[in-house]
Amino acid sequence: AWLTCDETDSDAIVLLSGLAAALASSGTAYTAPPGPVTVDEPAFTRSVLPAFMQSVSSIRPPVTIVIDEVQLVKGVQARFVLKAFINALPAGSQIAIVGRSLQGLPLPLWRGQGRVADVTAEDLAFGVAETREALEDLTRARVADHQVARVVEATQGWPVAVYLMSQAHAPD
């Protein structure tokens, strides 16, 4: 399942609906909770959120989900929805939380529980061997060591930048 968040997901109901739609479209046996959905308190905290968590926890088989652009989700209730969703996922589920900032989420706790793993910018960057392979695949030519070193230095290993440099006249 995949959800790319935007500013509207700061509304807890929009976020909850987006997560439910992502689950439903993924082919899992997700069933939306019955009853009205409201952000009015105390109904949201005492009824809506627990019913949503119960529906998520009953998903079979476990799900893999990506929640992208999480930094756009603001507000206490929307963060409650994210936390409740992740905490309710059945054992064996995998989640990728992607964003420029992940403040307000209990990442150390989830990391300790094995729910999340960190993937940093450095993890996504090409090393020397990967840069060489990409350049040679893209240019269909052997690339000299000094050319690879220059591209790695100039691009810091970012794959898109490596691609763009490969499309220039020559990596030198």
Full pLDDT tens readout for the chain, 172 residues: 999 999 999 999 899 999 999 998 888 877 777 777 767 678 777 888 888 898 999 888 888 889 999 889 988 889 889 999 999 998 888 888 888 777 778 888 888 887 777 777 778 889 999 999 999 999 999 999 999 999 999 999 989 999 998 887 554 5
pLDDT of amino acid 99: 81
**Cis bond upstream, residue 106 (ω within 30):** no
pLDDT of amino acid 9: 92
pLDDT of amino acid 100: 79
Q: Which one, of 23, 17, 8, 55, lies nearest residue 37 by Cα?
A: 17
pLDDT of amino acid 171: 47
Alpha-carbon Rg for the chain, nearest whole angstrom, is 21
pLDDT of amino acid 146: 94
Half-sphere exposure of 118 (CA within 13 A, CB side): 12
- Token look-up 């706790």 returns 109
Q: Is 31 helix (H, G, I), strand (E, B) or coil?
A: coil
Quote the CA–CA distance of 65 and 21 in Å, as a whole number: 12
